[in-house]
Amino acid sequence: MANRCYLFAIDTVETHKAAQRSMIGLGEYNHNIPLIYQILCSSDARMCRSAVFSGNKNAAIIADFKKGVDKLRFFLEQLGDVGLGDKIRETLAWLDEPHNQFEYLLLEPGEIFELESDTDKNLLKELHQNINELDQPSLKDQAEHYQENNALDSWSNFLYYEPKGCIKPPKDKKADRHSFTVEELEKYLSELEQFRCSHVSLYATKQEIDRVKALLPELNRLPNLTEFWPKGEAVQDEIGKLRSITKLILTNNQLDVLPDGLKALTQLEELFLSANKFTEVPDVIQGLKRLKKLIINKNQLVELPSWIGELKHLRQLNVNQNKLRTLPVSITQMTELSEINITVNALNSPQQELETLLELPKIESITMTGNHDAELNGVPDTLWRKLTLKSLFLTKMVIPEIPTDIARLSQLTSLGLSNCGISKINENLWHLTDLEYLNLSNNPIISLSTNIANLARLTELNLSSCELNELPDVFQSHRHLVNIQLRNNNLRKVPPSIQEVDGEQRRTVNLFENPVYDS
């Protein structure tokens, strides 16, 4: 046992299953969890399964990558001259590189906590609460302390990074998924033909373009290859030669066009184009008739093409964080579409777009945001009668009162109605007994019904920034509830059942900015 904590960058919240294909190491530290790690993992942090240790229990913390880097930058700015200017600049420059941008940071403290498990069973919970307190005022205080004690004199012990940005393949090369540099792939390719390698992540620099051109056709020798993820400066115009792949990931590659060669990928079912520079959906996608998933969020799209309706097999469409003002009428022709995410855009009339989406016969999941004009953010009555819905996230839409008809949405497992002006909750909400996630944050809700006990399958509950004065003592029935967010309310006391599961304190309960927390 090394008795270390580990810090990773990762692109999925499904930490355990997806770890080997998407995460890279950022650092490790002996016998302690340094402040640097805690700062990086202090934005939108939540507990999750470990990606490196077996077991189903929450044993790690996952947090937002970009926000964490921003917090680290703020902290370092407060330090002034600590004799580490070059090291700090080098590290931040690496974290800012487009091909080093990830979705999440993953903190793995399991080895350290195991050492102390006999004396404290709630160390992960305490760590989670501590890092949630790392706001700007506290970071200024921490910086002052570090300056006085010269605590950053061994910067390399706090944070390192892998310049090539990839995990080395296992020695036996039998794992199903691999990430490679160009040099590694050249070395291992002949051996990988013998194994069921279905995923290849390839990191390449500008200097390696010619080598990549020669490598891509050779990848067709891998009989089970279905997924390809080129990172860095990997050559895009050669991808069309990988005709067997069904999943292509081109995230964070600074792309504004796609090569015509993609037309040859007739088997492609999943295409990821997140965090690039597209101002329009590339026309080459029109010919990908088997496409089931299109992820093109975090770009600069101003509209979706009318031909989008020709993608008859598309089931999932993610266009959040773009500049869309409307959705094309042809979207109603996508009869297989079951999931759409259009949050953080510039929709002229969210209510009208929501009405259009409700015409889709198989729609199960809708995630969207209202705009600055409340009159255009109404919710049509037909929403509460769309029986196919399983996941519904509406932010800044106008819903003064959750209606009686919500009970019809009996298949809902996830419901998020944040910042919707909800002041009254109809009792029928508590009839949705399959709910696992409920977010009613930023609404003027004063109290909760005792019937919330009916939602016995809840795993996460978010009631932050409401106006709650009290809570019912009914949470003993929520055996699966592990995360309760109650930040910024008017709670002066909380019932014992809020934290306990079977008599033990096994929940994360955020009570910051409540009188009960300050008392």
How many CB atoms are closer than 10 A to CB 256?
12
383 DSSP 8-state letter? G
Is 3.80.10.10 the CATH classification of the domain at 399-519? yes
DSSP 199: E
pLDDT tens-digit readout, 454-489: 999 998 899 999 999 999 999 988 888 888 889 889
CB 458 within 8 A of CB 482: no
Q: What is the pLDDT along the chain (519 residues), one digit of tens a residue?
A: 456 778 888 877 665 544 445 577 777 776 677 788 888 999 989 888 887 776 657 788 999 998 998 888 888 777 765 555 556 666 676 676 655 677 888 998 877 766 444 333 467 888 888 888 888 888 877 776 665 544 443 333 344 433 333 333 334 444 444 667 788 788 878 777 766 677 888 877 778 888 888 888 888 888 888 888 887 666 677 788 888 899 998 987 888 999 888 999 999 999 999 888 999 999 999 999 999 999 999 899 999 999 999 999 999 999 998 999 999 999 999 999 999 999 989 999 999 999 999 999 999 999 999 998 888 999 999 999 999 999 999 999 999 999 999 999 999 999 999 999 999 999 999 999 999 999 999 999 999 999 999 999 998 899 999 999 999 999 988 888 888 889 889 999 999 888 766 666 567 788 878 998 765
- pTM of structure: 0.71
According to DSSP, the residues that pair with 202 across neighbouring strands are 180, 230
CB burial of 48-67 (b: ≥16 within 10 Å; e: otherwise) equals bbbbbeeeeebbbbbbbbbe
Kindly list the domain boundaries of the chain, sorted by start residue.
4-158, 399-519
Euclidean distance between CA atoms 472 and 362, whole angstroms: 37
What stretches of 372-481 show up as alpha helix (H) in DSSP?
none
d(CA 96, CA 100): 7
3-class SS at 270?
Answer: strand
